[in-house]
Amino acid sequence: MRTQRILWTVAALWCATSVLSAFAIDPDAVVGMWLFDENGGKVARDGSGNGLDGTIAGSEKWTKGMFDGGLEFDGSSVYVEVGSDPSLVLEELTIVAWGKISPSAGTRWQSIMMRGQDPRNYLMVVDKDSQKLQLSITKGAPGAWGGPIAGPAITDEEWHHLAAVIGQSAGLVVYVDGVQVGQQPYAKPSLDANPNVMRIGDGSSGGHQLDGALDEVALFSVPLTADEINEVMTDGLGEATGFLSVKLTGKLATTWASIKR
């Protein structure tokens, strides 16, 4: 009986590993994943299991997103603060989000995700003047900005999939609805951040409040390819990264260790 249990567990682990290899993105590359499916409360849970839950400031309003629920931002007081954690300090990365954003031309930038104001590690934001997607970093000394502003205006109050990539080979790249719309040569982003917090829906020190709704926000520790970004956009974060199978694999590995003991 004990031998049969061991064989079953080994077979199950092999199957789960095979399933994981079919997913577009390595789950280990996910730093944090905020799906906004809670439909209530003041916590935006990190669906990656890495413990980077965000605290929601202001009078939050839960809404329908592109995949299940979403979170509305009022352009003044609502944001999600994830805080400070070593895993958020990144030299290469990808930010993705679905956004349904209202206009702010000539008024303010609208931050989707930001770590640090000046210097900043990374920022994906709606440009104040053009209303286009912007990727911004500090390269070198404070005040030395870099990153493209490109693509169509995205503040038409329709859902758009937004992505920003920082990679030594890829460069500094922005995507709108799965299409690369802008690129600059790679520059190493400042790993310092002042203030040293990461926020979703506002700047790290305020003043970049988003007006609209967000869904399926995630931060990766690698530069995703165009194919991987399209996989996330089309299938959703959960399916593209296979987190249900990851959890299953973890449980099976625990069972296997217990059997060995």
pLDDT in tens, 95-106: 999 999 999 999
Residue 255 has pLDDT above 80, yes or no: no
Rounded distance between C-alpha atoms, residue 227 and residue 224, angstroms: 8
Residue 150 has pLDDT above 90, yes or no: yes
Under the banding of pLDDT at 50, 70 and 90, the label for residue 1 is: low
Q: What single-letter amino acid sits at 179?
A: V
Identify whether the C-beta of residue 171 lies closer than 8 Å to the C-beta of residue 183: yes
Identify whether the C-beta of residue 93 lies closer than 8 Å to the C-beta of residue 32: no
Share of the chain above pLDDT 90, in %: 80
Under the banding of pLDDT at 50, 70 and 90, the label for residue 23 is: low
Average pLDDT value for the chain: 87
Residue 212 has pLDDT above 90, yes or no: yes
Residue 20 has pLDDT above 50, yes or no: no
Kindly state the average pLDDT of the residues 132-145: 93
Under the banding of pLDDT at 50, 70 and 90, the label for residue 243 is: low
Q: Which of 217, 187, 186 is nearest to 201 (CA)?
A: 217
Phi-psi sector, 216: left (phi>0), alpha (psi -120 to 50), beta: left
Rounded distance between C-alpha atoms, residue 19 and residue 15, angstroms: 6
CA 249 to chain centre: 23
Rounded distance between C-alpha atoms, residue 214 and residue 34, angstroms: 10
Q: Give the CA dihedral 214, 219, 225, 229, nearest 10 degrees.
A: -20
Kindly state the average pLDDT of the residues 189-206: 96
Phi-psi sector, 221: left (phi>0), alpha (psi -120 to 50), beta: alpha
Q: Where are the alpha helices (DSSP H) in the chain?
A: 2-21, 226-235, 237-241, 243-260
Position 141 scores a pLDDT of: 84
Position 140 scores a pLDDT of: 81
Identify whether the C-beta of residue 197 lies closer than 8 Å to the C-beta of residue 204: yes
Q: Write the CA distances from 74 to 79, 109, 213, integer angstroms.
A: 9, 14, 9
Rounded distance between C-alpha atoms, residue 135 and residue 46, angstroms: 23
Position 148 scores a pLDDT of: 98
Name which of 10-14, 54-58, 75-79, 229-233 the model is least confident about: 10-14
Q: Which residue has the higher pLDDT, 3 or 237?
A: 237
Residue 252 has pLDDT above 80, yes or no: no
Q: Which of 91, 132, 135 is nearest to 113 (CA)?
A: 135
Identify whether the C-beta of residue 200 lies closer than 8 Å to the C-beta of residue 44: yes
Kindly state the average pLDDT of the residues 17-24: 47
- Residue 88 carries which DSSP code? G
Residue 259 has pLDDT above 90, yes or no: no
Kindly state the average pLDDT of the residues 15-44: 79
Under the banding of pLDDT at 50, 70 and 90, the label for residue 181 is: very high
Rounded distance between C-alpha atoms, residue 219 and residue 30, angstroms: 6
Residue 34 has pLDDT above 90, yes or no: yes
Identify whether the C-beta of residue 26 lies closer than 8 Å to the C-beta of residue 14: no
Residue 22 has pLDDT above 90, yes or no: no
Under the banding of pLDDT at 50, 70 and 90, the label for residue 254 is: very low
Position 256 scores a pLDDT of: 29
In DSSP terms, 93 is beta-bridged to: 166
Phi-psi sector, 232: left (phi>0), alpha (psi -120 to 50), beta: alpha
